[in-house]
Amino acid sequence: MLEKFDLSKTITDAEYKKSEKKLKARLGELQRKAWDLKIPVILVFEGWHISGMAEDINRFILSLDPRGYSFHAMMTRPCYEELLKPFIVRFWSRIPVRGKIAIFDRSWYSRAVIECLEKESLESHEEEMGKRLEEINCFERQLGDDGYLIMKFFLHISEKKHKERFDNFKKDNIPLIFDDYEKESGKDLDFILNYKDYLPFVEKLLEKTDMPYAPWTIVEANDRNFATLKIMMAVIHAIETSIENTTRTPAEQTLKYLNMEALGVPQLNNSTLENVDLSKKMNANEYKESKKLYQQKLSALQYELFKKKRPLVIVFEGWDAAGKGGGIYRLVENLNPRLYRVVPVSSPNDIEKAHHYLWRFCEAIPKAGHITIFDRSWYGRVLVERVEGLCSEEEWKRAYREINEFEEFLTQAGVIILKFWLQIDKDTQLNRFNSRLFDPEKKWKITAEDWRNRSRWEDYKIAVEEMLQKTSTTNARWIVVESNDKRYSRIKVLKTTTEVIENRLKK
Amino acid sequence: MLEKFDLSKTITDAEYKKSEKKLKARLGELQRKAWDLKIPVILVFEGWHISGMAEDINRFILSLDPRGYSFHAMMTRPCYEELLKPFIVRFWSRIPVRGKIAIFDRSWYSRAVIECLEKESLESHEEEMGKRLEEINCFERQLGDDGYLIMKFFLHISEKKHKERFDNFKKDNIPLIFDDYEKESGKDLDFILNYKDYLPFVEKLLEKTDMPYAPWTIVEANDRNFATLKIMMAVIHAIETSIENTTRTPAEQTLKYLNMEALGVPQLNNSTLENVDLSKKMNANEYKESKKLYQQKLSALQYELFKKKRPLVIVFEGWDAAGKGGGIYRLVENLNPRLYRVVPVSSPNDIEKAHHYLWRFCEAIPKAGHITIFDRSWYGRVLVERVEGLCSEEEWKRAYREINEFEEFLTQAGVIILKFWLQIDKDTQLNRFNSRLFDPEKKWKITAEDWRNRSRWEDYKIAVEEMLQKTSTTNARWIVVESNDKRYSRIKVLKTTTEVIENRLKK
The residue extents of the domains of chain B are: 13-270, 275-506
pLDDT at B112 over 70: yes
Q: Give me the architecture of the B275-506 domain, per CATH.
A: 3-Layer(aba) Sandwich (3.40)
Judged by DSSP in three states, A369 sits in coil
- Mind listing the pLDDT tens digit for each residue in B426-484? 999 999 999 888 888 888 888 888 888 899 999 999 999 999 999 999 889 999 999 99
Per-residue pLDDT of B116-127, as tens digits, reads 776 655 556 777
- Average pLDDT over chain B reads 89
Chain B residues with CB inside 8 Å of A367's CB? Answer: 81, 84-85
Shortest alpha-carbon distance between residue A85 and chain B (Å): 5
Indicate yes or no: CB of A409 within 8 angstroms of CB of B138: yes
Q: What is the fold of B13-270? A: Rossmann fold (3.40.50)
Pairing of strands A41-47, A149-156: parallel
> What does the alpha-carbon distance between residue A416 and residue A410 come to, in Å, rounded to a whole number?
8
> In chain A, what are the helix, strand and coil shares in percent, each to the nearest 5?
55, 10, 35
The model's pLDDT over A64-80, given as tens digits with 9 standing for 90+, comes to 888 889 999 887 777 77
Q: Which residues in chain A are closer than 8 Å to B148, comparing Cβ atoms?
A: 356
Q: Please check whether residue B308 is in contact with residue B505, taking contact to mean a CB–CB distance below 8 angstroms.
A: yes
CB–CB contact B367 A97 (8 Å):
no
Mean of pLDDT values over A208-233: 93
- What is the predicted pLDDT for the residue at B130? 86
pLDDT 10s digits, A402-437: 999 999 999 999 999 999 999 999 999 999 999 888
pLDDT at residue A127, as a whole number:
78
* Nearest one of B68, B247, B72, B43 to B143, comparing CA atoms: B43
Nearest to A143 among B97, B356, B398 (CB): B356
CA gap B143, A405 in Å, rounded = 13
Q: Which of A88, A100, A372 to mutate to test the interface with B (most CBs of B within 10 A)?
A: A88
Q: Which phi and psi (to 5°) does residue A337 adopt?
A: -60, -15
A325 in Cβ contact with A374 (< 8 Å) = no
Residue A27: name the closest of A237, A318, A314 by CA: A237
pLDDT of B381-412, one tens digit each? 999 999 999 999 889 999 999 999 999 999 99
The kind and range of the H/E element at A470 are: helix A457-471
* CA–CA gap between residue A99 and residue A37 (Å, rounded): 7
Q: Pick left, alpha or beta for residue B139 (phi over 0 → left; psi -120 to 50 → alpha; otherwise beta).
A: alpha
Residues contacting A372, CB < 8 A, separation 6+ = A311, A312, A313, A314, A340, A341, A342, A343, A364, A365, A366
Helix H or strand E encompassing B155 = strand B149-156
DSSP reduced 3-state for A198: helix
- Cα B229 → chain centroid: 20
The greatest distance separating any two alpha carbons of chain A, rounded to the nearest whole angstrom, comes to: 80
8 A C-beta contact, residue A418 and residue B94:
no
pLDDT at B178: 61
Instruction: Give the pLDDT score at B245.
Output: 83
Rounded distance between C-alpha atoms, residue B86 and residue A358, angstroms: 14
Chain B residue numbers with beta carbons less than 8 Å from the beta carbon of A354 are: 38, 97-99
Q: Which residue of B has its CA nearest to A366?
A: B85
Number of neighbouring beta carbons within 10 Å of residue A37: 15
pLDDT at B176: 67
Closest-CA residue of B relative to A138 is B405
Closest Cα in chain B, distance from residue A358 (Å): 8
What are the chain A neighbours of B356 within 8 Å (beta carbons)? 92, 95, 142-143, 146, 148
Of the candidates B143, B59, B58, B149, the one whose C-alpha atom is nearest the C-alpha of residue B101 is B149
**What is the b/e burial string over A195-218, where b = at least 16 CB atoms within 10 angstroms of the residue's CB?**
beebeebbbbbbbbbbbeebebbb
Q: pTM for the complete prediction?
A: 0.87
CA B477 to chain centre: 10
Confidence category of residue B254, pLDDT binned at 50, 70, 90: low
Q: Is-contact B340 B295, C-beta < 8 A?
A: no
Q: What is the pLDDT of residues A243-297, one digit of tens each?
A: 988 887 666 655 454 555 566 666 676 678 888 999 999 999 999 999 999 999 9
pLDDT at B190: 66
> pLDDT digit string (tens) for B177-213?
666 666 666 666 666 778 888 888 899 899 999 998 9
Report d(CA B37, CA B245) in Å as an integer: 11
In 3D space, the residue among A156, A158, A203, A194 whose CA is nearest the CA of residue A472 turns out to be A203
Residues in B touching A99 (Cβ below 8 Å): 354
Q: Which residues of B touch A92 (CB under 8 A)?
A: 356, 358-359, 362
Contacts of A135 in chain B (CB under 8 A): 409, 412
- Measure in Å the smallest separation between the Cα of B141 and chain A Cα atoms: 9
User: Which amino acid, residue A128?
Assistant: E
- What are the beta bridge partners of residue A105? A45, A73
**A280-506 matches A13-266 in CATH topology:** yes
Torsion of CA A7, A13, A14, A18, to 10 degrees: 80
Q: How far is B260 from chain A (nearest CA, A)?
A: 32
- Provide the percentage of residues in chain A whose pLDDT is more than 90: 64
CA atoms within 13 A on the CB side of A93: 11
Residue A394 CB-density burial (10 A; 0-12 exposed, 13-18 middle, 19+ buried) = exposed
Chain B CB contacts of A85 below 8 Å:
365, 367-368
Taking 80 as the threshold, does the pLDDT of residue A501 lie above it? yes
Burial B218-256 (b: 16+ CB within 10 A, else e): bbbbbbbbbbbbbbbbbbbbbbbebbeeeeeeeeeeeee
CATH code for the part of the protein at A13-266? 3.40.50.300
CB–CB of A89 and B365 under 8 A? yes
Closest CA to B218 of B345, B51, B343: B51
Mutate: best of B115, B146, B411, partner A, most A CBs <10 A: B146
Q: Are B423 and B481 in contact (CB under 8 A)?
A: yes
Q: Across chain B, how many H-helices and E-strands are there?
A: 21, 10
Q: State how beta strands B101-105 and B69-73 pair.
A: parallel
Distance (Å) from the alpha carbon of A9 to chain B's nearest alpha carbon: 37
pLDDT for the residue numbered A199: 87
Contacts of B138 in chain A (CB under 8 A): 405, 409
In single-letter form, the type of residue at position B35 comes to W
Give the Cα separation of B346 and B334 in Å (integer).
Answer: 26
Task: Give the three-state DSSP class for A106.
Answer: coil
Return the number of other C-beta atoms located less than 10 Å from residue B213's C-beta. 14
- Is the CATH code 3.90.1170.50 the one for domain A280-506? no
CB B40 within 8 A of CB B147: yes
| Test the A interface: residue of B148, B409, B410 with most A CBs within 10 Å | B409
Q: Do B367 and A85 touch (CB under 8 A)?
A: yes
Helix (H, G, I), strand (E, B) or coil at B456: coil
The verdict on a CB contact (< 8 Å) between B409 and A135 is yes
